[in-house]
Structure 1
Amino acid sequence: MKIASINVNGIRGAVERGFLDWLANQDADVVCVQNLKAKSFEFEEELLYPQGYEGYFLDAEQDGFSGVGLYCKKIPKAIMYGVGFEQCDSEGRFLQADYDKFSVVSFLMPEEPHAKQRFITQYSEYLNKVRRKRREYIFCGSWNIAHKTIDLAHWADYQGTPGFRPEERAFMDQVFGPMGFIDTFREIKRDGGHYTYWPKLHDELPRQRQDGWRLDYQVVGPNLQRNVKDAWIDTSATFSEHAPLIIEYDLEL
C-alpha cells in the first residue's frame, strides 16, 4: 500500500500548476491533501472524483482557509469528519478514512504560534486516547514543526522561529517518545538534507540546495513500525511550496 501526503497550499493554484496531472501519474492507494483554502461544494467534477479516486473533504468554516481532503482508490468503510474539539473541526483540520484494520488521517496543524499551542494542548489529549484504542492509525499531513536539527537547513539561524520553537519540538519529542508514535520517514531515511517545504515556490536554485524544512509527516503507532517499507519526498512536484511525502507500507486496504 502506498500513501502520499501533500500540503497543496491552495487547491486552485495547485491545479493550475499541475496537481491533477501529478495525481493521475501516482499509483497511490490514498492521497491525503491539506490546506485546500477552498469550499469543496464549489469543486469541479475532475477535482471531486479524479480518475480512479473517490474524494472526501472537510472544509473550514472560514472562506479561503485551511481544509483537508482524502482521495481514496478503495471506498472506506466510514469517514470521520473532525475529532470533537472546536478549533480542529471548525477549521477543517482532521479527516479520517476507516478501513478494516486501520484508519488513514489527513491532518493540518495551525501555523500561527498561539493557535498552534492551543491546538497542541487538545490534540495531545486526543493522541493519548488513540494509543489506548485497538485500531491502528496513519496520521498524514503538515505538523508544521521541524522536529530535529537535521530537519531544516541552517537550523542555528532559526532557533525560536515558529516551526522550530522549543515548546513545539518538545511536543514532537512527546509524540515520538512517551506516546510511542513512529516517524515513518525516519524509519527509512536517517540522514539530514530531506525537506518537504521551501519558503519560495520558484527560485533560481534547485530545491535540493534551498533552505528547506521537513514539516510534513506520516505518523503511525508502534504496531505498524515493521510495516514501513519505503519512504521518499517527491521534490520534482512543484505545484506547492510543499513537496509530496510518500510512504510504502506492507499493508492492504
Structure 2
Amino acid sequence: MRIATFNVNGIRAAQRRGFEDWLGDRGPDVVALQEVRARAESIPPGVFGDYHLTYDEGDVAGRNGVAVLTRQAPVAVRTWSGTALMRAPGEMHTDSVELDPEPLARGLGEFANQGRYVEVDLAEAPITVASMYLPKGGLPAHLQKPGRMREAPDGGARYDRKMRFLSAFARQLTRSRRTARARGRELLLMGDLNIAHTRSDVRNWRRSNQAEGFLPEEREWFDSILSPRTLVDVVRRQHPGVEGPYSWWSWLGQSFVNDIGWRIDYHLATPQLARAAVTAGTDRDPAADRRMSDHAPVVVDYDF
C-alpha cells in the first residue's frame, strides 16, 4: 500500500505545476494533503482524479485546509470542527456534512475550526489515517530582534499559540492512538508538523538553533510523542544516521538547488505499521523551475 503526504501550498497552484501528473504517475493508495487553501466551490474540477475526497477546509479563507484522498470511501471520518466535505470521484457538490461529535482534548477548541486536522478509517486496511497541518509559530519574545526578522515582532504571540497547540494536541494524539487500538486499527499521523526534530533534519542546524521550527522546546515536544511503543518516525527509521531526506526548501535564493532544506513533513506510525514500511523517501522535484510546492511529497510503501 503506497501512502503519501504532501503540503501542496494551494491546490490550484499545485495543479498548474503538475500535481495531477504526479498523482497519476505515483499512484498512491492514500494521500494526506495540507494547505489545500480552497473553498469547496474553488477546488479545480477533476484535480483529484478517481479518488474519494475527505476535506476540512477551515474557516479562514485562503489558508490551511487538510484532506485525505482514498481509493475507497472511508469507513468513518472525524474532524475537530465536526464537519467535512466528502466527495466520491466525479462529484462536485460543495456541502459539508455534520459528523458524529468527537471529544476534543482540553485547549484544542481555539483551533477546531481552522482546517488543521482530519482523520479517516480506511476501508481497505485496518488503519486510521490522519492529515494534520501544525501552526508554523514564531519566536519567543526574548529572541525577537527588530530589523532581523522578516515579520514584525509580535511579543511572542505566534510562539505562545504554537506552544498551546502542541500541549493540547499531545493529549488529543494519545486519545486518537488509544481509540484506534481499541478499534483494532493502526494509527498513521501524516502532515506538515512545522518542526524539524533533530540535527539531521535541518541542513544548517547550527544557524537554526534560534529559529522557529527548531527551537529546543519544540524538539523536546517532538521527543515526547515518539517512542518504540507509541509512534515511530517511519522515514527516519528507514534512513537512520543520514541528513534528510528533506521535504521543504525556501523559494528564496538557491536553497532548492543546493539542497538547503528542512525535514518537517512526516509519517508517524504505530509500531506494527512502522515495521511494515518497505521504502520511504521524498519525491524531490527534478528542477527548481518544476517544483509543485515549496514542500515535496513524502511517500512510503507499506507491506501491511
TM-score (norm 1): 0.91
**Matching residue of 1:189:** 239
- Give the Cα–Cα distance (whole angstroms) in 1 for the partners of residues 275 and 24 of structure 2: 29
| 1:147 equivalenced with 2:197 (yes/no) | yes
Q: Show the 5 A alignment for 1:38-49.
A: 38-47=38-47
Match of 2:26, SS state, is coil
**Matching residue of 2:260:** 211
1:76-118 superposed Cα distances (whole Å, 9 cap, x missing partner): 1122122633233211011111125221111110002332211
1:184-212 superposed Cα distances (whole Å, 9 cap, x missing partner): 001111111410000117x55754x2310
Q: Which amino acid aligns with 2:111?
A: C
- Give the Cα–Cα distance (whole angstroms) in 2 for the partners of residues 154 and 126 of structure 1: 32
Q: Show the 5 A alignment for 1:57-76.
A: 57-76=55-74
For this pair of structures, how many residues does the alignment match? 247
1:128-165 superposed Cα distances (whole Å, 9 cap, x missing partner): 22343323211110011000001011100010210000
Task: Give 2:170's match in structure 1, choosing from 106, 110, 124.
Answer: 124
Q: Show the 5 A alignment for 1:1-253.
A: 1-47=1-47, 50-82=48-80, 84=104, 85-99=108-122, 101-112=126-137, 113-133=159-179, 134=181, 135-177=185-227, 180-190=230-240, 191-200=242-251, 204=254, 207=257, 209-236=258-285, 238-251=291-304
Q: Say if 1:128 and 1:179, in contact at 8 Å, map to a contact too.
A: no
Q: Which segments of 5 or more consecutive residues in structure 1 lack a partner in the other structure?
A: none
Q: Say if 2:5 and 2:32, in contact at 8 Å, map to a contact too.
A: yes
- Give the Cα–Cα distance (whole angstroms) in 1 for the partners of residues 245 and 228 of structure 2: 25
Give 1:51 shift: 2.5
Larger Rg: 2
- Give the Cα–Cα distance (whole angstroms) in 2 for the partners of residues 37 and 45 of structure 1: 15
Cα separation, partners in 2 of 1:58 and 1:91, compared to 1, 3 Å: same
- Give the Cα–Cα distance (whole angstroms) in 1 for the partners of residues 189 and 208 of structure 2: 26
Q: Which amino acid aligns with 1:165?
A: L
Q: Say if 1:4 and 1:245, in contact at 8 Å, map to a contact too.
A: yes
Deviates more, 1:5-14 or 1:77-86: 77-86
Identity %: 32
Match of 2:46, SS state, is helix
Cα separation, partners in 2 of 1:206 and 1:55, compared to 1, 3 Å: same
- Give the Cα–Cα distance (whole angstroms) in 2 for the partners of residues 117 and 30 of structure 1: 30
- Give the Cα–Cα distance (whole angstroms) in 2 for the partners of residues 8 and 250 of structure 1: 26
- Give the Cα–Cα distance (whole angstroms) in 1 for the partners of residues 302 and 21 of structure 2: 24
Q: Say if 1:187 and 1:228, in contact at 8 Å, map to a contact too.
A: no
- Give the Cα–Cα distance (whole angstroms) in 2 for the partners of residues 81 and 130 of structure 1: 12
Match of 2:112, SS state, is helix
RMSD: 1.9
Q: Say if 1:31 and 1:72, in contact at 8 Å, map to a contact too.
A: yes
